[in-house]
């Protein structure tokens, strides 16, 4: 049986930072033909990846990220609630 998305994501998030950076780059590259290369979202993604590769990005773990999402989204999080 194939692993679920959640299993793959959990395993990927458990990788060392350098491996996660490499995986992120591979995933972005795999979408290149499908992305609007001039969209603000794509430009922001490239800016953030450049910060990660330069070592200037502040990296946070999933738990801290989810706390920020819940704080910023307030009653809108989780979706459907």
Q: What is the pLDDT of residues 52-73, one digit of tens each?
A: 888 898 888 888 988 888 888 8
Q: Is the dihedral of CA 36, 41, 47, 50 positive or negative?
A: negative
Sequence-distant (≥ 6) Cβ neighbours of residue 61 within 8 angstroms: none
Q: What is the mean pLDDT of the chain?
A: 85
Give Cα 38 to chain centroid, integer Å: 20
Q: What is the pLDDT of residues 15-41, one digit of tens each?
A: 999 999 899 888 888 877 776 767 888
Confidence bin at 81 (pLDDT 50/70/90)? low
Question: Which pLDDT score is estimated for 10?
Answer: 92
Neighbours of 45 (CB within 10 A): 15
77's tokens: 């999080």
């Amino acid at each position: 049986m194939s692993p679920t998305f959640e299993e793959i994501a959990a395993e990927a998030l458990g990788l060392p930072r350098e491996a996660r950076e490499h995986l992120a780059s591979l995933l972005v590259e795999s979408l290149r033909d499908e992305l609007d290369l001039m969209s603000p979202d794509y430009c922001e993604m490239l800016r953030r990846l450049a910060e990660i590769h330069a070592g200037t990005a502040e990296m946070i773990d999933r738990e801290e990220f989810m706390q920020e999402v819940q704080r910023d989204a307030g009653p809108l999080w989780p979706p459907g609630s």
